[in-house]
Amino acid sequence: MTVAIYLPSQSNTDWWVTLMQGLLPDWDITSMASVTDPATVDYAVVWQPRTGDIAKFENLKAIVSVGAGIDHVLADPELPQGVPIIRTVGKDLTQRMQEYVALHVLRHHRDMPRQLQAQAEKDWHSIVVPVAPRRTVGVMGLGNLGAASARVLAQIGFSVRGWSKSPKSIDGVETFTGDSELDEFLDGCEILVNLLPLTPATRGILNAELFAKLPKDACVINCARGQHLVDDDLLAALESGHVKQATLDVFHQEPLPPSHTFWDHPAITVTPHISSRIDAETGGRLIAENLKIFDATGTCPDVADAARGY
Ligand code: NAP
């Protein structure tokens, strides 16, 4: 079997080629740039492929996304229709997201930014907040990462609610479904965590209209995609004081340009898309496993639904 690999950085691509050669020693693993006969390529392993990169492989059996989202693959307007897309998910990715979500929810819950400001001023300023059961945290998206994060928040003791497209039942989590229940979900949600996939329905969902439905002093955590957020709407909501704090891990442009207002904003915490970056060796093992299963059976559990966009 022939696998062609593309990641935006050449050194990253070379690293992945070596890794996958070690994991699939009987397969022919190459970088996309080194493919001489596109008709021989069976699988493409990609992150942010360029327009037309994948269309040239006329006999492609599947595309592998080096990550949980498939939006970066679907963004290619020349993407061939009907080729299965395999996501890279797993315990490692879920665990990392649970840690990130717990850390930043707790940080907002205990008002650490204000507490650290008091320390900087040598001010013995005690901030006493309600206990977790009296704090409502909402998770948008109850897939692999959202459901796992909601569970951890419930275990800590928060009053947790979750929102998804189809009905869900998760222990300790009050669930809401579809657009008709979005307002009810948002009402009273003091800390909002976004873990939706990027699709036409969710692009720009973190906007002025949504912020207005949160209670005053709400905090927003976006660890899904930068394109979910309307940047200016967040800045306006922070300026007005309706939203108190935000933690942003993902951005319209990555790396976030040095001139961007978010870097210096006193109410925004910026992290560089690390909430759940898969460890490459673990990711490689998952990809190799999925490729072997797909090659033997024609499918695997991590095949995404390209028609619905995630
Ligand atoms: P997933 O398993 O595909 O789950 C997506 C969830 O969102 C599902 O519960 C789905 O509802 C819900 N959803 C989709 N469209 C919706 C809509 N229009 N209205 C309401 N709910 C909707 O995704 P995942 O693996 O948890 O990952 C979520 C996203 O996190 C990824 O797509 C990626 O963008 C992001 N991510 C970020 C990082 C990072 O490091 N920052 C790392 C990995 C992933 P149903 O269950 O009803 O279908």
Nearest CA owner, ligand 1 atom 4? 143
pLDDT, averaged across the chain: 97
Beta bridge partner(s), residue 269: 247
The pTM (predicted TM-score) of the whole model is 0.96
- Write out residues in the chain with pLDDT < 50, as ranges: none
Measured between alpha carbons, how far is residue 137 from residues 80, 149, 280 in Å?
40, 11, 31
Rounded Cα gap, residues 40 and 55, in angstroms: 13
Residue 195 CA to ligand 1 centre (angstroms): 5
Q: What does the CA dihedral 94, 100, 104, 106 come to, rounded to 10 degrees?
A: 70
Distance in angstroms (rounded) separating the CA atoms of residues 52 and 294? 24
Give the distance from CA 275 to its chain's centroid.
Answer: 8
CA of 43 from ligand 1 middle (Å) equals 24
Residue given tokens 């460890």 in the structure block: 279
CA-nearest residue for atom 32, ligand 1, is: 197
Quick one: which of 167, 161, 159, 164 has its CA closest to 138? 161
Q: Give the Cα separation of 218 and 188 in Å (integer).
A: 9
In the chain, the amino acid numbered 292 is K
**Distance from Cα 236 to the centre of ligand 1, integer Å:** 26
Q: Does the CB atom of residue 249 touch ligand 1 within 6 A?
A: yes
CA–CA separation, 150 and 7 (whole Å):
31
**Cα distances (Å, whole numbers) of residue 304 to 37, 82, 288, 291, 301:** 28, 12, 17, 14, 9
- Whole-angstrom Cα distance, residue 5 to residue 49? 10
- The residue with tokens 């493919």 is 35
- Helix, strand or coil, per DSSP, at residue 26: coil
Closest CA relative to residue 280, chosen from 9, 75, 35: 9
Q: Do residues 5 and 32 make contact, with C-beta atoms less than 8 angstroms apart? A: yes
Residue 223: φ, ψ to 5°: -125, 25
Note whether 139 and 153 are within 8 A (CB).
yes
Beta-bridge mates of residue 163: 140, 176
Residue bearing the CA closest to ligand 1, atom 2: 143
Q: Are 136 and 190 in contact (CB under 8 A)?
A: yes
283 CB near ligand 1 (under 6 Å): no
Strand partners, 168: none
| 302 vs 290: CA distance, rounded Å | 8
C-alpha 181 to ligand 1 mean position (Å): 17
Residue 156: phi, psi to the nearest 5?
Answer: -65, -30
Distance of CA 100 to CAs 8, 51, 114, 155, 309, Å? 25, 32, 20, 15, 25
Measured distance CA(172)–CA(169) in Å, rounded: 9
Atom of ligand 1 nearest to the CA of 202: 18
What is the spatial distance between Cα 45 and Cα 87, in angstroms, rounded to a whole number?
Answer: 10
CB 202 within 8 A of CB 228: yes
Q: Which of 85, 86, 140, 145 has most ligand 1 atoms within 8 Å of CB, for mutation?
A: 145
Enumerate the active-site residues.
Answer: 225, 273
Closest C-alpha among 264, 221, 215 to residue 241: 215
